Amino acid sequence: MAVNFSLEGKVALVTGASYGIGFAIASEYAKAGATIVFNDIKQEFVDKGLASYKAIGIAAHGYVCDVTDEDGVNEMVKKIEAEVGVIDILVNNAGIIKRIPMIDMSAADFRQVIDVDLNAPFIVSKAVIPSMITKGHGKIINICSMMSELGRETVSAYAAAKGGLKMLTRNICSEYGQFNIQCNGLGPGYIATPQTAPLRETQVDGSKHPFDSFILAKTPANRWGDPEDLAGPAVFLASDASNFVNGHVLYVDGGILAYIGKQPD
C-alpha cells in the first residue's frame, strides 16, 4: 500500500500565513492538493498574502482575523465552513516574539506574547475541533520552537508560551485522539524569516551579527533554515501518512537540539 502524503480534497487553515513559515507550509499544502485558507490582522496584509499566493498559482482564501480575539476566530471559522468547507487541517502558525530581559519586561508585554503564541492556538483549536469530531478526522499542527525545549536570554515570554504550546499539543492529543484527531507540534530551529531578521542583520562594520555566528556554531547543518525546510515535515504531519503519530513534536532544526555546539579548534 503506497503511503498517502496527499492532501487532495482537504481544507487547510494556516494562521498568520501571509508570508514566512506559514506561507511556505500553506504553499506546499496547496501543491499536495489542499485548499488553502489563511488569516492576517489587517486587510492590507491579507491582500498582500493573496497576491503572493496568486503569484505562485495558488487561489488561496484570506480572512481578516486577530487570532487572540475569540469572537472573531469563531466568526472566521463559521465563515470558512460556509464559504470554503469544514477545516480538515489547522496549523497554529501565527506568532510574535519580544526580546526583552525578563526584569525589564512589562507584564503587559509578557501577556501579549502568551496571548498570541499560546492562548490563540487554544482559541483556534477549540473553534475547529467540534467540526473535526463530526467529520471523523482532523489534523492540528502547532508551530513550536527550540524554545519549547531550551531557554535563552531575553525570550522568557516566548519560551514560556512555546513550552506551554508543546504541552497543549500533548493535551489535545490526549483528549481528542479518540475522535481520529491527531495533534502534533512542528519545532523549527533558527529559520530565516522577518521574525529572526534582527538576529541576522549585517553589522555597521560589515561583519556578521554575533548571534548569526552563534547559531551557526550551534547548528550541525552550519546554516540557518529556510521556511521551505519545514514544508515536507508539515505535509507529513497533515497527511494520512502520520495517522498514528500523535502528541509528538517533530523538530526541524538542522540538529541543534542534538548538539552541544562547535568545540574550540
Q: Which residues are catalytic?
A: 158
At 263, give phi and psi (nearest 5°).
-75, 155
| Per CB under 6 A, 97 contacts ligand GCO | yes
List, in order, residues 6 or more apart from 194 with CB less than 8 Å away. 19, 20
Cα dihedral sign, 99-50-78-166: negative
Choose between 63 and 176: whose C-beta lies nearer to ligand NAP: 63
Q: Which does 152 bind (CB under 5 to 8 A by kind): ligand NAP, ligand GCO, none?
A: ligand GCO
Determine how many CB atoms are found less than 10 A away from the CB of residue 140.
27
| Per CB under 6 A, 50 contacts ligand GCO | no
Choose between 91 and 181: whose C-beta lies nearer to ligand NAP: 91
**Which helix or strand (DSSP H or E) is residue 47 part of?**
helix 43-55
Distances (CA, A) of 200 to 4, 18, 55, 203, 210: 38, 21, 27, 9, 8
| Per CB under 6 A, 191 contacts ligand NAP | yes
| Per CB under 6 A, 20 contacts ligand NAP | yes
| Per CB under 6 A, 45 contacts ligand NAP | yes
Q: Which does 155 bind (CB under 5 to 8 A by kind): ligand GCO, ligand NAP, none?
A: ligand GCO
User: Which residue among 35, 156, 184, 193 contacts ligand NAP (CB under 6 A)?
Assistant: 193
Contacts to ligand GCO from residues 152-191, by CB under 6 A: 152, 155, 158, 188-190
Please give the full DSSP string across 133-197, using - where no structure is assigned: HHHT-EEEEEE--GGGT---TT-HHHHHHHHHHHHHHHHHHHHHGGGTEEEEEEEE-SB-SGGGH
| Per CB under 6 A, 93 contacts ligand NAP | yes
- Min. distance of Cβ 170 from ligand NAP in angstroms? 18
Choose between 76 and 215: whose C-beta lies nearer to ligand GCO: 215
Q: 14, 29 in Cβ contact below 8 A? A: yes
User: Which residue among 35, 125, 145, 246 contacts ligand NAP (CB under 6 A)?
Assistant: 145
| Chain residues in the site for ligand GCO (CB under 6 A) | 97, 99, 145-147, 152, 155, 158, 188-190, 195-196, 199
